[in-house]
Amino acid sequence: GWLDGYVALVTGGASGIGRAVVKRFIAEGCTGVGVMVRSAEQVDGLVAEFGDKVVVSVGDVRSPADNVAAVEATVARFGKLDTLVGNAGVWDFFARLEKMSTEQVAESFDEIFGVNVKGYVLAASAAAPHLRASGGSMIFTLSNSAFYAGGGGPLYVASKHAGVGLIKQLAYEFAPDVRVNGVAPGGTVTPLRGPASLGKQEKRLSEIPGFEDSVANAMPLKFIAQPEDHTGHYVLLASKANSRATTAAIIQSDGGWEIRPMR
Ligand code: NAD
């Protein structure tokens, strides 16, 4: 495989795109994958499926200590770290600014930016020394909302745009030792949840009535993605042999948002 002997860490790896990346990385030859998950209930399913190829850490990506613990558990078990995949995220279910009280805006900002932006920076910080040592790379999951309006509300869209700046600045700071890139999926069938601050922590994107059809119809490529559809991009960007000259790049895997027709 393209990742023979690699060791990776994936945040938000219990479900959706993160879990598909874990599975694909193991299929591509990873010795082991650290998986950071939000709750203890998410551990058993991963261990049942992947056995001793995974080491699972329960934590909150907004916590510095939890990020350090996930990195250390991965390195303690598998001996090094080649690839960090920052992926844990929350969506805002299109929450428009004027539908929220000013107080809710403040709370939701802290929650959404806490997970989607601070979570990525903290993972990068915790993984940095090991990635410098291995000559590895970081890959962050962005979104069509990293480039375009309309895929969420202002808080989610701004948080994903922030990810673009983070990737560029980290790529700049870590060159030439560590490459830093991103994958920007579009609408994908996952259980992506909302923020507790908007009372949407149990609400799942895949449960929105008509969501799959409306995404498929809006996209030039005319289908809604499954998590597996994005995983080849992560493999490519992780692989030193296949993307050695690529840093500060973001691969769009969004069904063609750029070329959406007017009608
Ligand atoms: P998902 O809900 O299956 O995956 C997100 C994971 O992050 C979950 O397993 C969740 O437990 C974890 N998580 C959330 N908050 C956390 C926290 N505070 N600490 C630790 N873990 C936490 O949904 P997904 O769609 O696979 O989301 C993965 C990434 O893909 C996110 O960054 C999301 O913004 C992005 N994305 C998704 C879509 C889509 O349509 N599903 C589109 C574009 C981008």
- pLDDT single digits (tens) 53-90: 999 999 999 999 999 999 999 999 999 999 999 999 99
Q: What is the pLDDT of residues 107-135, one digit of tens each?
A: 999 999 999 999 999 999 999 999 999 99
- Looking at residue 189, its pLDDT comes to 96
- Looking at residue 130, its pLDDT comes to 98
Q: What is the pLDDT of residues 189-212, one digit of tens each?
A: 999 999 999 999 999 988 889 999
Q: What is the pLDDT of residues 1-18, one digit of tens each?
A: 999 999 999 999 999 999
- Looking at residue 248, its pLDDT comes to 98
Evaluate: CB of 185 within 6 angstroms of ligand 1: yes
Domain 7-255 has CATH 2.70.70.10: no
Confidence band, pLDDT 50/70/90 cuts, at residue 91: very high
- Looking at residue 262, its pLDDT comes to 80
Compute, in angstroms, the gap from residue 219 CA to the centroid of ligand 1: 21
**Encoded tokens for 82:** 């080649």
Evaluate: CB of 86 within 6 angstroms of ligand 1: no
- Domain spans of the chain? 7-255
- Looking at residue 207, its pLDDT comes to 86
Evaluate: CB of 17 within 6 angstroms of ligand 1: yes
Compute, in angstroms, the gap from residue 259 CA to the centroid of ligand 1: 25
Ligand 1 pocket mutation pick from 10, 11, 17 by most atoms within 8 angstroms of CB: 17
Evaluate: CB of 252 within 6 angstroms of ligand 1: no
Note whether 117 and 163 are within 8 A (CB): yes
